[in-house]
A = this chain, B = another copy of it.
Amino acid sequence: MSLEDSYDPKQFPPFAVTVDLVILTIRQARLCALMVRRTAPPFRDCLAFPGGFVAQGEGLEAAARGKLATKTGVSTAAIHLEQLQTYGAPDRDPRMRVVSVAYLALAADLPEPTVEGDSFRAQWCPVDELLESELAFDHKTILRDGVSRARGKLEYTTLATCFCPAEFTLAQLRDVYETVWGCLLDAPNFRRKVLAADGFVVPTARSAAPDKGRPAQLYRPGEASALQPPFKRPPS
């Protein structure tokens, strides 16, 4: 913030500031987001992202991380969290002026969310279904932005491993790309690209025990965060 000389810190229009969380995961080969169903107007019975007010002395990311831990009931250390965008149209909440800072979280498949104080339910919903249905506030726009960001980030970062368990096969990693991008990738070429990307994955001592077929090498995430060169997403 930078201010004219006439600035008076006592006279400012008060806003409510909230965080909204777009928490993405992959369940049964579908990209899903964690949603809560609203039980009060406005948008009663609509699905909405978890979120809430930012407290007076609380940082934005700290607020997001707090909500994340509450809703998922999981240690948030392993979950990637980044700021997405800020949404502040004057009429986005009919009750009052609210500016919402949206965060994007990428997580491995998590247990079904626990009922927190029994006051609301959270559930995983496939994003393609969410984009067809009505969501509260401007949350459909936020969801589109979040999915788009996630798709893009898979191209030039190693964040795909966030959707995987601690150890994973290359087939699992490929499934992440295929699910998020909605396309099919050539397994041999994918394998080469991943292994050629320095620090993307590192092999472990173990192999996966499959139902059938040859067991696959298990890997864990490497140190690298950027992919150079980036992965190319096929046009679709």
Contact = CB atoms under 8 A, between A and B. Distances in A.
A160 B73 CA distance: 45
Contact of A3 (B6, B51, B90): B51
Given A2-B38, A6-B119, A20-B2, A56 B97 contact: yes
Nearest to A229: B232
A1 interface: yes
Interface stretch (A11-19, A104-112, A173-181, A209-217): A11-19
The count of identical subunits is 2
Interface string A127-156: 000000000110100000000000000000
A49 interface: yes
Contacts of A119: 4-6
Given A60-B88, A83-B86, A88-B101, 5 more contacts: A2-B137, A4-B120, A9-B16, A14-B14, A54-B88
Interface of A: 1-7, 9, 12-18, 20, 36, 38-40, 48-60, 83, 85-86, 88-90, 92-93, 95-101, 119-120, 136-137, 139, 228, 235
22 contacts: A1-B16, A1-B18, A1-B51, A1-B98, A1-B137, A2-B139, A3-B51, A3-B52, A4-B52, A4-B119, A14-B14, A15-B16, A15-B17, A17-B17, A56-B90, A56-B97, A57-B90, A58-B90, A60-B88, A60-B89, A60-B99, A228-B235
